[in-house]
Amino acid sequence: MERTLVILKPSAIARSLVGEVISRFERKGLQLAGIKMMQLSDEILNEHYAHLLDKPFFPRIKASMQASPVIVCCWEGMDAVQIVRDMTGVTNGRKAVVGTIRGDFSVSMQENIVHTSDSPENAVIELNRFFSPYELFAYENPIKCFRYANDEIG
């Protein structure tokens, strides 16, 4: 099973959307493998957004991500990265399709509710950045047979 990172940003916290966002992933059939609330440090943000450090808008991103604690989640399932990306919608909430998380809850490029991993490779890197191994859990869910056909899960 593939794993992916989702960060519920300060905009989700402030707008009381945590339960709604988590519920959408659960209803889709993804399995929660880790979750915690944390305040993001300069160090972790500089690492996470290293590709944006020299951009003029980086200080705005950093301030936004430190406006309150965030909730980091690890979601697991077949093709979890792509499923989460599809459910989330494009980065700019004004352009995100209605029915996606950003399309339903965001009208901003920056205050867009969630961060999600953009590839399986980056998901591994990001999950290692935000979680220690003992904070992620593998467990059998008794309803797994109602999520996937036998030949899908091997």
**Where in the sequence numbering do the catalytic residues fall?**
115
- Residue (of 3, 8, 62) closest to 38 by Cα position: 8
153: its two tokens: 């899960």
The residue with tokens 């945590």 is: 18
CA distance 42 to 66: 9
Nearest-5° Cα angle at 146, 71 to 105: 35
Q: Phi and psi at residue 62, in whole multiples of 5°?
A: -60, -45
